[in-house]
């Protein structure tokens, strides 16, 4: 960390407990004084960097996990559904969003190879059907397998466009997508 800088991590109680223990074990010199672990509850809205963020339980199968809705501009929203398949309980947070971030581990065409549903993940088809149902304007697919790296964008987009009519993004690792343009 840069001297004098602060880091704020927002999460539910279980993750906060784990992070505190890791900091205690890995940073015994108390160099974590400028790290602030902030517990949030399901449905809680907080202001972060001048924007409203609502955290919500994604009803994950493996471990408790929160997604979030970031509100910006005039009625614009960015929704992240976490690292699990979409759960209908989250519809009220994601319906009609400007940007939807949805994990898509593999193409439906490769479902028998990767068996994503067994490991609580989605296919491109699943994510795109969900985004279409939620009427999301833009969809970002992430947390993908690496076997198709180099062709992933092309292959995932080709499959996804069969199920989703909005703008589909399949970023490569470290690629930047400008979601929010600051108004001058």
User: Looking at the whole model, is its pTM more than 0.85?
Assistant: yes
Rounded mean pLDDT, 33-55: 96
* DSSP letter assigned to residue 80: E
Residues of the chain with CATH 3.60.15.10: 41-169
174 versus 156: the higher-pLDDT residue is 156
Q: Does domain 41-169 have CATH number 3.60.15.10?
A: yes
Q: What is the mean pLDDT of residues 165-175?
A: 94
Tens digits of residue pLDDT in 93-107: 999 999 999 999 999
């Amino acid at each position: 960390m840069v001297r004098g800088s602060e880091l704020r991590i927002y999460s539910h109680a279980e993750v906060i407990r784990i992070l505190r223990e890791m900091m205690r074990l890995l940073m015994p010199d108390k160099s974590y004084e400028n790290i602030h672990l902030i517990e949030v509850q399901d449905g809680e809205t907080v202001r972060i960097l001048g924007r409203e963020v609502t955290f919500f339980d994604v009803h994950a199968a493996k471990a408790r996990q929160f997604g979030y809705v970031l509100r910006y501009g005039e009625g614009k929203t960015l929704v992240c559904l976490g690292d699990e398949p979409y759960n209908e309980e989250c519809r009220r947070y994601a319906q009609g969003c400007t940007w939807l971030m949805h994990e898509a581990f593999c193409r439906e065409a490769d479902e028998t190879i990767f068996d994503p549903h067994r490991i609580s993940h989605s296919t491109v088809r699943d994510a795109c059907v969900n985004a279409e149902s939620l009427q999301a304007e833009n969809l970002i697919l992430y947390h993908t397998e690496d076997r198709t790296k180099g062709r992933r964008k092309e292959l995932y987009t080709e499959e996804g466009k069969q199920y989703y009519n909005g703008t589909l993004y399949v970023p490569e690792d470290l690629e930047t997508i400008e979601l929010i343009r600051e108004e001058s």
